[in-house]
């Protein structure tokens, strides 16, 4: 990660700290830790004050911190990690100007560890600061966008190599495993999440688990996948059919197709997330399938596979240039099947850029 990016992010965080009268911030979540420091190890806490930045971790990562987070001072914790990290916090409070009020991620820090911190640091007031810590991540920097585009390209390349394997007799598990393999060969660090390959009636489950179900003629097959590259994710979905779809499934597919087209046509800066969701939702409802569109239209994608902004019903978030989000309407009819089509979009100053480029067939 470029040092200039870390400097800019810390500056933005410190500005928010000043506005909210927060003297220091404790960051314990993996994604925010990487975002603000560059450190990608699995264990570590950040403490950020108005003029210092520290990272606490254990011996497995001492050298890694030096390479990945050169702007941060290393505070060493022992392998008996839980106790020693509390001890390290006490050391930091004693030796650094952390002030009286420390912001923290209340949605991430466990109650047990929070209580230990209260006991060890009785003079510190801990204040929830989740929104302020995470909100900076909503607007992606150019370097982040380039990595996300790379993750998309790798995921798409993997899909192209397995598309012909979606045929009668193949199993969901075989297709999923082959797609994971192909993405890794194409340069993915790993899959972005557990790949969904859902055939036939399983496709009516929005988050179906891969099974040994064999594909049959006429089956809809929902494939939801993505690649993880340098910590960043991609996320897309295509619904294919084995042979010729039934008239009912063709109707459902084309309804989802048109709903997504309408949402992609209007999405852009200045609109609220809820307004974009409403465009797709109203089209699906007008076709008689409103009760079967059971999730939001989309979500932000970046260091986390699901992050801000949420693109869902009644959400008031105003879309801004630099936000990256999915647009993924779906219809799921129990005991029949489901359809989802998902693409990733970058909000630009004068509209949007559709980042995914796999063709979408209209049946």
Cβ atoms of 272 and 297 closer than 8 Å = no
Better-predicted residue by pLDDT, 255 or 95: 255
Q: What is the mean pLDDT of residues 97-113?
A: 95
- For residue 212, pLDDT over 70 is answered with yes
Alpha helices in the chain (DSSP H): 3-19, 30-37, 62-68, 81-95, 111-120, 130-135, 142-162, 172-185, 247-266, 273-286
Q: What is the pLDDT of residues 28-48, one digit of tens each?
A: 999 999 999 999 999 999 999
Superfamily of domain 3-137: Creatinase/prolidase N-terminal domain (3.40.350.10)
Q: What is the dihedral of CA 346, 349, 351, 352, to 10 degrees?
A: -10
Q: What is the pLDDT of residues 159-182, one digit of tens each?
A: 999 999 999 999 999 999 999 999
pLDDT at position 227: 98
CB atoms within 10 A of CB 243: 11
Domain boundaries, the chain: 3-137, 139-354
Q: What is the pLDDT of residues 244-264, one digit of tens each?
A: 999 999 999 999 999 999 999
The residue to which tokens 């995914």 are assigned: 356
Q: How confident is the model at residue 267 (pLDDT cuts 50, 70, 90)?
A: very high
Q: How confident is the model at residue 83 (pLDDT cuts 50, 70, 90)?
A: confident
pLDDT at position 2: 77
Q: How confident is the model at residue 115 (pLDDT cuts 50, 70, 90)?
A: very high
What does pLDDT average to over the chain?
Answer: 96
Pairing, β 324-327 against β 343-348: antiparallel
Dihedrals phi, psi of 148, to nearest 5 degrees: -60, -40
pLDDT at position 79: 66
Q: What is the dihedral of CA 201, 204, 205, 211, to 10 degrees?
A: 30
- Of the chain, the percentage scoring pLDDT greater than 70 comes to 99
Q: What is the pLDDT of residues 214-234, one digit of tens each?
A: 999 999 999 999 999 999 999
Q: What is the pLDDT of residues 290-316, one digit of tens each?
A: 999 999 999 999 999 999 999 999 999
List the single range of 1-10, 271-280, 283-292, 338-347 with lowest mean pLDDT: 1-10
Range 139-354: architecture per CATH: Alpha-Beta Complex (3.90)
Residue 281, both tokens: 């939702």
C-alpha span between 320 and 292 (Å, rounded): 30
Cβ atoms of 103 and 19 closer than 8 Å = no
Closest CA to 230 of 143, 322, 140: 143
- For residue 81, pLDDT over 70 is answered with no
- For residue 76, pLDDT over 70 is answered with yes
Total residues found in the chain within this entry? 363
Quickly count helices (H) and strands (E) in the chain.
10, 19
Q: How confident is the model at residue 80 (pLDDT cuts 50, 70, 90)?
A: low
Pairing, β 24-27 against β 101-104: parallel
Q: What is the mean pLDDT of residues 110-132?
A: 95
10 Å CB burial of residue 126 (0-12, 13-18, 19+) is: middle
- For residue 195, pLDDT over 90 is answered with yes
- For residue 1, pLDDT over 80 is answered with no
Predicted model pTM: 0.94
Cβ atoms of 287 and 270 closer than 8 Å = no
Q: How confident is the model at residue 84 (pLDDT cuts 50, 70, 90)?
A: confident
């Amino acid at each position: 990660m470029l040092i200039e990016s870390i400097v800019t992010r810390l500056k933005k965080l410190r500005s928010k700290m000043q506005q909210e009268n927060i003297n220091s911030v404790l960051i314990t979540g993996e994604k925010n830790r990487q975002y603000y420091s560059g450190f990608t190890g699995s264990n570590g806490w950040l403490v950020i004050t108005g003029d210092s930045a520290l990272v606490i971790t254990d011996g497995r990562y001492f050298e890694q911190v030096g390479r990945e987070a050169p702007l941060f001072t290393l505070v060493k914790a022992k392998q008996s990690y839980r106790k020693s990290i509390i001890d390290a916090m006490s050391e930091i409070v004693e030796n650094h100007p952390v002030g009286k009020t420390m912001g923290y991620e209340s949605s991430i820090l466990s109650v047990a560890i929070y209580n230990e911190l209260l006991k060890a640091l009785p003079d510190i007031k801990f204040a929830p600061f989740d929104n302020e810590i995470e909100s900076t991540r909503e607007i992606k920097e150019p370097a982040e966008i380039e990595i996300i585009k790379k993750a998309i390209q790798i995921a798409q390349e993997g899909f192209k190599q397995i598309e012909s394997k979606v045929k009668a007799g193949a199993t969901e598990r075989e297709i999923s495993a082959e797609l994971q393999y192909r993405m890794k060969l194409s340069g993915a660090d790993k899959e972005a999440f557990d790949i969904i390959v859902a055939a036939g009636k399983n496709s009516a489950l929005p988050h179906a688990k891969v099974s040994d179900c064999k594909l049959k003629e006429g089956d809809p097959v929902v494939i939801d996948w993505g690649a993880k590259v340098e910590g960043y994710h991609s996320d897309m979905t295509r619904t294919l059919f084995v042979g010729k779809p039934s008239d009912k499934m063709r109707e459902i597919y084309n309804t989802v197709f048109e709903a997504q087209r309408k949402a992609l046509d209007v999405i852009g800066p200045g609109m609220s997330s809820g307004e974009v969701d409403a465009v797709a939702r109203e089209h699906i409802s007008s076709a008689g399938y409103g009760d079967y569109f059971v999730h939001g239209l989309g979500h932000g994608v970046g260091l986390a596979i699901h992050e801000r902004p949420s693109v869902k019903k009644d959400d008031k978030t105003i879309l801004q240039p630099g936000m990256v989000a999915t647009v993924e309407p779906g219809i799921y009819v129990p005991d029949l099947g489901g359809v989802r089509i998902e693409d990733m979009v970058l909000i630009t100053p004068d509209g949007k850029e559709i980042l995914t480029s796999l063709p979408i067939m209209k049946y």
